[in-house]
Amino acid sequence: MSLRMPAEFEPQQAAILIFPERPGSWGFHAVPAQAVFGQIINFISRHGETVYVVVSENTRSAAERMLDRSENICLVEIPTDDAWARDTAPTFVKNDETGEVRGISWRFNAWGGAYDGLYAHWERDDALAEEFCRRTGFPCVSAGDFVLEGGSIHSDGEGTILTTESCLLSPGRNPGMTKAQIERKLCDMLGGEKVIWLPRGIYNDETNEHVDNVCAFIRPAEVVLAWTDNRDDPQYELSAACLEALENTTDAKGRRITVHKLPIPDIPVCVTETDMEGYEFEEGEDTREVGERLAASYVNFFFANGIVLLPQFGGENAASDRRALDIMKGLLPDREIIPVGALEIIKGGGNIHCITQQIPAGRKT
């Protein structure tokens, strides 16, 4: 059976989000974050797409209260450790001949396991992909012991897989595999023909620099790249290295890649004293500190049918927000670009793309 990972800009049947509650990620009992998650879920559902919302016993009532009463929203009660659906929900592949869509269950170890993982217990997150497929009726393919998060890969839908060396070659993922072996595993599981390795991601990204925060396909052979012109910003060298890599390669079809620069916020988004008052960290969990720079990037957007949900950070970055919105409108004139105030998401460590996972159009069996 020939399976491929469709691009995110291709038609979708559904999206997956997990309603947040982990006190070490989402401050003030997760109430501010839940409001933003709810807004995103409602946006997607109002554009004719099913949204599977994974809830727990603790979050079901809040989700029911905040979400539209819509046939497009389906609550699925499965316990999880956190709310990063991009990394813990299945990655979906499709057989174009039959239209069948299947989920892939990767191993998840909290972004690094015992080496540099972000929390000590991740068993429920690791089990989510298989359990979600079982509960919703999607066939599930196991990746065995291969550790991977969905945020570490992008697909153009035509055989090209994009990732970062800093993440997939991290000692906390698959230390017993060579780069060539990892590349072959990606191609085998995702129907890829070529892997483009970017050297780095976004500065201070605690996922070991996922690709979804630094570079994304907007159509075949065309990407947006997180950028800064400020040579004193630590992001400059990271983005410049990625640009060089993209300019010196071709995709799986032999095409040169067009790169559009999407500047990061002009003012770094950092943890405040007020933010720290809201967190409750568990033993063995990575903690935050006042002044810590968060990995804010406008590349961490989400494609849904006919729309793009674009992070906005507000405050000092109002001008940066408008610039990113104007750039995306120019690049994707056939879609509605919806700005979403995402400050409460970045405080958890990621952004809109990190909390969503798409299911491509197709059928379950």
Q: Which residues are catalytic?
A: 354
Q: For residues 339 and 304, give the distance between their C-alpha atoms in angstroms, rounded to a whole number.
A: 13
The answer to whether 101 and 13 have CB atoms below 8 angstroms apart is yes
Find how far residue 197's CA is from the centre of its chain.
Answer: 17
Find how far residue 226's CA is from the centre of its chain.
Answer: 15
The answer to whether 227 and 239 have CB atoms below 8 angstroms apart is yes
136 CB neighbour count, 10 Å cutoff? 17
One DSSP character per residue, 274-312 reads HHHHH--PPTT-----TTPBP---TT--EEETTEEEEEE
Whose tokens are 């992008």? That residue is 154
For residue 194, give the H/E element and its range: strand 194-198
The answer to whether 150 and 86 have CB atoms below 8 angstroms apart is yes
